[in-house]
Amino acid sequence: MHKESEGNLGTFCEKYTALCEKYGKKPATVLGEIGISKSAWTKWKNGSVPEGDTIRKLASYFNVPTDYFFSEEIEMPPPADEDGDTARIREAMRRRPGIKLLFDALEDAPDSDLYETLALVSRLKEQSKNK
């Protein structure tokens, strides 16, 4: 973590807090969900600003550009009009980064790969139940 100018510090913390509020999440909880120490939140409130990889993880989690956290000109994205399935998928991707990784890996895969993956996941779930 590093220090930035006072304007950017306020911008980062304010925007991060606003995003957390928008999605009904506590700032420390979000960090835990994306694999970042929850103590980072305390450091940010005290003037530290996260660097590269952390910013990328946060931007991905909230589906905003990385510049969002530091620019006065980029506003919070408007709430999307989503159907129930889309909202459920988006929330699952926020809560469980592995789901987003799976989506990213399979996004352009042929349907046959999707069905093979589904069969594999079903087998793994069954094995977990039987343990």
How many C-beta neighbours within 10 Å does residue 49 have? 21
Q: What is the fold of 6-69?
A: 434 Repressor (Amino-terminal Domain) (1.10.260)
Q: Where are the domains of the chain?
A: 6-69, 96-129
pLDDT digits (tens, 9 = 90+) for 65-108: 888 888 776 666 655 555 667 777 877 887 788 888 888 888 88
Mean pLDDT, the chain, integer: 80
* 3-state secondary structure at position 65: coil
Q: How far is CA 77 from the centre of its chain?
A: 14
Q: 20: alpha, beta or left, given left = phi > 0 and alpha = psi -120 to 50? A: alpha
DSSP string, 49-67: B--HHHHHHHHHHHT--GG
CB 72 within 8 A of CB 13: no
